[in-house]
Amino acid sequence: MEFLSWKVEDKVAVVTINRPPANALSRQLIQEVNEMLNTFEHDESVRVIVLHGEGRFFSAGADIKEFTEVTSGAEFSKLAAHGQNVFERLESFPKPVIASIHGAALGGGLELAMGCHIRYVAEDAKLGLPELALGLIPGFAGSQRLPKYVGTAKAAEMLFTAEPISGTEAVQFGLANKAYPIDELLPNTLQLAKKIAEKSPIALKAAIQMLQYSKSASFYEGVKAEAESFGTVFVSEDAKEGIQAFIEKRKPNFTGK
């Protein structure tokens, strides 16, 4: 891959976006995100993915120069739909994905981050959807995901003014989980990832599926699906191991079976 690279340690894949100077999202980079998910979906050595950017930014947005190569509205719609599909796959991916955001996550960069399950941010990072400043609107589901995190009123303010908020504010408004000084960001993100990687892959997958139900299904449909999933997970070897480890007051060894 040209713009993504990774290393795996303690069942955590640290994926780095490296497309200087701003890690802008091009069609190729979006496709590489999709290919990365293909690589890790059935890789038992990876239980959690951490996504972060090399250099000054997480991702400062879509590749605006690439936009000039698109000549029709239909082609723009196709481009947007592809990005939406990849980020939807990210959000429903059966293994937790954590965004570690420093510098800026703007436009498509924030849309990529919002597709992740968890967001840790640098206190001084800038997060926003500045598309209206260009006479555009978000295309990778930003207008749909942002209100779910910050509420409709705050999302409207961010969209209409095209002004970003800080990492600290992102936590206050519910867009990010925690904010750290920049030099503490990645170490704390990795600490979280390793803690999650110790959990049962079967239970993690089921928990992600239930979170997805909570976003799209009715409460009745969600609790029904939860009950069914609870029964499936309960008879797994991991559940037996977890219960036995609790009784024996030891750390469980989950194998994903």
- List, for residues 93-146, the tens digit of each pLDDT value: 999 999 999 999 999 999 999 999 999 999 999 999 999 999 999 999 999 999
**Residue of 185, 187, 189, 149 whose CA lies nearest to 169:** 149
Q: What's the length of the chain?
A: 257
Average pLDDT, integer, range 156-177: 98
| Sign, CA torsion 177/178/184/185 | positive
Task: Please give the structure tokens belonging to residue 130.
Answer: 């500045």
Mean per-residue pLDDT of the chain? 95
Q: Say if residue 6's pLDDT is above 80.
A: yes
How would you label 220-241 residue by residue, b for 16+ Cβ within 10 Å and e otherwise?
A: eebeebbeebeeebeebebbeb
Choose, from 32, 91, 123, 131, the residue flagged as catalytic. Answer: 131
Q: Say if residue 66's pLDDT is above 80.
A: no
What DSSP string runs through 162-199? ---EEHHHHHHHTS-SEEE-HHHHHHHHHHHHHHHHTS
Q: How far apart are CA 182 and CA 180, in angstroms?
A: 6
Q: Say if residue 68's pLDDT is above 80.
A: no
CB 2 within 8 A of CB 28: yes
- Chain position carrying tokens 């999933």: 229
- Chain position carrying tokens 């960069």: 109
**Residue of 46, 48, 18 whose CA lies nearest to 32:** 18
pLDDT of 16 reads 98
CA distances from 126 to 61, 111, 112, 172 (A): 11, 13, 14, 14
Q: Say if residue 31's pLDDT is above 90.
A: yes
Percent of the chain with pLDDT strictly greater than 70: 100
pLDDT of 62 reads 80
pLDDT of 71 reads 76
Strands (E) across the chain are located at 4-9, 12-17, 48-53, 97-101, 104-106, 118-122, 126-128, 165-166, 178-180
- Does residue 131 have an active-site annotation? yes
Please tell me the pTM assigned to this model. Answer: 0.95
110 Cβ contact list (under 8 Å, min separation 6): 127, 128, 129, 142, 146
Q: How far apart are CA 105 and CA 128, in angstroms?
A: 7
Average pLDDT, integer, range 30-59: 97
- Chain position carrying tokens 């890790």: 40
CB 120 within 8 A of CB 99: yes
Question: What DSSP character marks residue 250?
Answer: S
CA distances from 169 to 70, 123, 125 (A): 35, 8, 10
Choose, from 32, 91, 111, 123, the residue flagged as catalytic. Answer: 111
Average pLDDT, integer, range 17-28: 94
Q: Say if residue 8's pLDDT is above 80.
A: yes
Judged by DSSP in three states, 105 sits in: strand
- List, for residues 194-251, the tens digit of each pLDDT value: 999 999 999 999 999 999 989 888 899 999 999 999 999 999 999 999 999 999 999 9
Q: Which of the two residues, 62 and 172, has the higher pLDDT score?
A: 172
CATH fourth-level superfamily of 4-197: 2-enoyl-CoA Hydratase; Chain A, domain 1 (3.90.226.10)
Q: Residue 193 CB: number of other CB atoms within 10 A?
A: 25
